[in-house]
Structure 1
Amino acid sequence: MRLTSREQEIVNILKKNPLISQEELADVFGITRSSVAVHISNLMKKGIIRGKGYVFNEGPLITIVGECYLDINIYQKDYTNSHVETIDIKYKGVPLEICKVFGNYGIRPKVITFLANDQVGEHFLKQMQELELDTQNILKLNDSRSIRRVHINDTLTYAEDISDSDYYEAIKTKERLLLNSDCLITDYKFATEIVEEILSKKPDIFPELCTYIIDKNLPDIPDYISKFKVVVLGVNNTLKSERAINTFLDFNLDADQVFAITDGKSEIIAINDNKTHRFPLLPNQTFSVEEKIPSFLAGLICGILNKHPLRQAIRIAVGSI
């Protein structure tokens, strides 16, 4: 978290004397009480302290930007004399899936997402509250219902989404949080706009960006991805991922960056410090890249935040699925 020199001075005093009054702080710095109140308010907005009594959040400020949606999957099977349908309904979304993993490590990130004022939105909000997440930055959908996706036999056939322009305008309203985050995890669909928004402000320190990409056709990976700290690419077959490996190597990744490629079936390929490492998956470690990549990403981030070696961070990622 980036603090001004005065904010850091106030933090240092509050840690030594958490019961000090704002009037006393004003006397220490030779400023008005209202100025102290503004600094305290900014420290709360930045996630450094929580409310009166000045309880400190010692960990890094982590923010997640992503969608929450109702996923409806209809499975149809035709038999000789009958037609059978099975309906599978799940509450899904990057924020929840990542936060469930983070909760096991005591990490409570801030969440930027859209929730409607309906039963589905209330369910998501309740889940987030149970995970003790900071929900102050949730954006309300007042004129539409919650996002829905309908699949038939795992093929997307219908979607109710928020327009990209509405999302991007909403994200801009959270500019301060984005810029002040130590670690910023974003749904890939928002990655371009978030990077452009941050670059346009020319911050002294760039947030550590993290995302995942699921594309079995191995897309052309854009150059701006080189600015990310952690990226996980889900593919159909790692044996056909040489182009992605070469692209990541061309980025000249440093020792702090980890880019991983996996099909969830055979192995995990990790590029770090411009070197390639391969970690085979055991039969009991396989997973669906469509379903579990966010959880894998969350575990990998936890391993990296805790300064574990790459091999151990990969183990934590696999164990988080």
Structure 2
Amino acid sequence: MVKDQHILALIRENPFISQQELSEKLGLSRSAVAGYISTLTKKGEIVGRAYIVKEEAKITCIGGANIDRKSQTLKPVQYGTSNPATVRQSSGGISRNVAENLGRLGCHVSLMTLIGDDRDGKWLLDETKRHGVDVSQCLAMNQEKTGTYTSILNDTGEMVLAVADMKVYDQFSIGFIEARWSHLASSNIIFADANLPEASLTYLINRCANEQLSLWVHTVSAPKALKLPSHLQGIDVLVATRDEVAALTEMETLTIEDCKKAAEQLIQRGVKEVMITLNEQGVLWVNANGEQAHFHPLPTNPIDRTGVEESFIGGVLFGISHDESFEHAVRLGMAASAVTWQTSETNADFSADQLYSLADNHYE
């Protein structure tokens, strides 16, 4: 509590003080300061962001936000019959999950999505806002249902099947994006997922290219990855699984070398950075400068991989927004994904200090 009060006192004296200055004045690591500020923000002790305007990037997440219903069998799956299982409901959606992870880390983040004008939609936005996400750019659609994603996991936590009712995203029009363009254009980073319709996604990519805005794109699934245009100039960072990369490139991605070749094809088509998530094999990173690295996962006791990829992305975005190198940011993402993988929660409650500690200890 003493450190909390010292930080608050210094912020009251200078609302524009940076986290680095706080670190130097208090003799704390920058990651520790970030952790204290995150805690104070969650408690409501800090309600403004002037003190970090110069240091913290504004991130806007545009795409899916839905209700997740997760069923996990108690024993190995038996097809063609009823399986005893536990059933849970939580907030979900790729962009919404990434936004919540960033909000939990105290980042300046907003969500831009469509929901139904129903009880599920109201609950979803309230839950998202509770974790520090600005939801002012979201829109509730009349006579539409909030999106739902239902997954069936086996007794070890691996997904067996998933079904999605995402019809509301058909209304994600170019006009909706244009009406909120000033908000997008003021963002340091825009994160989008392929739940957007093909025309809207292409419009977003092209306009970001023309206006030189930083755009990150997640492909969501192999079928949705095919919504991306052939020319990918305008995408700074593309995040995809090996199956999604295979669909995008029509190349094999069975081995790490296969994945490297596929990533190089995507870079030739205009992407600046490619991150391929490889489940238990970690993450492959390749960029347009010829740099590449294979990050092995932190040791974990896997419980449930739902939300693991979004935690990884949130950790990377957190690092980039705090001026870390891309390589160090990926390490923070790996730490975030490891924490989530070891919980049954879609969005694990981790802190900035925890991510720095895990990443630095594992990758030293």
TM-score by length of 1: 0.68
Distance across 2 between alignment mates of 1:308 and 1:55? 19
Change (3 A) 1:117 1:148: same
2:263 to 218, 227, 245: 245
Distance across 2 between alignment mates of 1:313 and 1:123? 32
Change (3 A) 1:85 1:60: same
Q: Residue 300 of structure 1: SS of its match in structure 2?
A: helix
Alpha-carbon distance, 1:276 to partner = 2.0
Change (3 A) 1:217 1:264: farther
Change (3 A) 1:300 1:283: same
Q: Which amino acid aligns with 2:118?
A: D
Q: Is the 8 A contact 2:116 2:168 kept in 1?
A: no
Alpha-carbon distance, 1:92 to partner = 0.6
Distance across 2 between alignment mates of 1:241 and 1:55? 42
Gaps of 5+ in 1: 1-14, 17-49
2:61 to 64, 67, 71: 64
Q: Which amino acid aligns with 1:300?
A: V
Per-residue CA deviation, residues 279-303 of structure 1 (Å, 9 max, x unaligned), is 2224428797763222211211222
Pairing of 1:170-209 with structure 2 (within 5 A): 170-190=176-196, 193-197=200-204, 199=206, 205-209=211-215
Distance across 1 between alignment mates of 2:291 and 2:303? 25
Deviates more, 1:89-98 or 1:240-249: 240-249
Q: Residue 134 of structure 1: SS of its match in structure 2?
A: coil
More strand by share: 1
Q: Is the 8 A contact 1:258 1:271 kept in 2?
A: yes
Deviates more, 1:183-192 or 1:280-289: 280-289
Task: Report the structure number with the largest CA radius of gyration.
Answer: 1
Residue 83 of structure 2 corresponds to residue 84 of structure 1: yes
Pairing of 1:28-67 with structure 2 (within 5 A): 57-58=53-54, 59-67=56-64
Change (3 A) 1:266 1:78: closer
Residue 286 of structure 2 corresponds to residue 271 of structure 1: yes
1:41 match? none
Q: Which has the higher contact order (CA 8 A, sep 6+)?
A: 2
Deviates more, 1:306-315 or 1:210-219: 210-219
Q: Residue 280 of structure 2: SS of its match in structure 1?
A: coil
Pairing of 1:60-139 with structure 2 (within 5 A): 60-74=57-71, 78=78, 83-86=82-85, 87-139=87-139
Distance across 2 between alignment mates of 1:218 and 1:117? 25
TM-score by length of 2: 0.61
Per-residue CA deviation, residues 251-308 of structure 1 (Å, 9 max, x unaligned), is 576xxx4321121211321113222222222442879776322221121122222232
1:259 match? 274
